[in-house]
Amino acid sequence: MATLLLTYFGAFEGVPYNPTRVVARRAADLLAVSAPDLTVHLKELPVEFAGSSRVLSEALDAYEPDIAISLGVAAGREKVSLERVAINLDAARIADNAGAQLTDTPIHLDGPDAYFSALPTRTIYEELNRTGLPVELSYTAGTFVCNHVFYELMHANQGSIPAGFIHIPLSHPNHAPETLKQDAGKPIRAHADTGGVESGELPTLAEGQLAAIIEQSVLITERA
């Protein structure tokens, strides 16, 4: 029986509600029906440079997944972004949740400058785009904890399993398409370092649609 490790994040500066948690859980529910032979392990990673490395490593060792996908949120993006490149760099204008604010810091001193995703990103994009789903290929995951986790994931598995990173936009509940799901009094802000788009616009997609896109991405990866 194949196993999937699906990771997600909690809140961080500018994103008081992180939709990756609910989207990961809803995607797991969908996969329980569409891929009953696939065991899905969900894991929340801390929005911390060092902490995310530790928790991700522990999860990879504990579950030994056949597929590993990390989810992150990119405020301001309009589509689900299939990230293709992780770079060996931590650099952000905001601190992580442990208070670490890094500038031009290599993730691994002895690591390559970049890794490419080991997910079939082109195939996923072409199949889902053909059906009209809001997906895109992306060549920057930012330089905050999302890119950090993406790089660490690729560094850990060295291409031995299909693994990679997917950014989702902000979300809204299925029944309230015009409502951003966020904590009152805590405004959402997009940061380019976190993969966001600093345009002033904050598009959202329905949580159900986001979960279905992740489900389909996993199914396509299994077939590839």
Please report which residue ranges of the chain form alpha helices under DSSP H: 20-34, 49-63, 121-130, 145-157, 207-223
3-state DSSP assignment of residue 8: strand
Q: Which residues pair with 114 in a beta bridge?
A: 87
Buried b (16+ CB within 10 A) or exposed e, 99-110: eeebeeeebeee
Angle, helices 49-63/145-157, rounded to nearest 10 degrees? 40
Please report which residue ranges of 158-206 form alpha helices under DSSP H: none
Write out the catalytic residue numbers. Answer: 83, 146
* Residue indicated by tokens 């891929």: 35
Buried b (16+ CB within 10 A) or exposed e, 118-153: bbbbeebbebbeeeebbbebbebbbbbbbbbbbbbb
The tokens for 50 are 């060092």
Torsion (CA) 84, 76, 99, 108 in degrees, nearest 10: 10
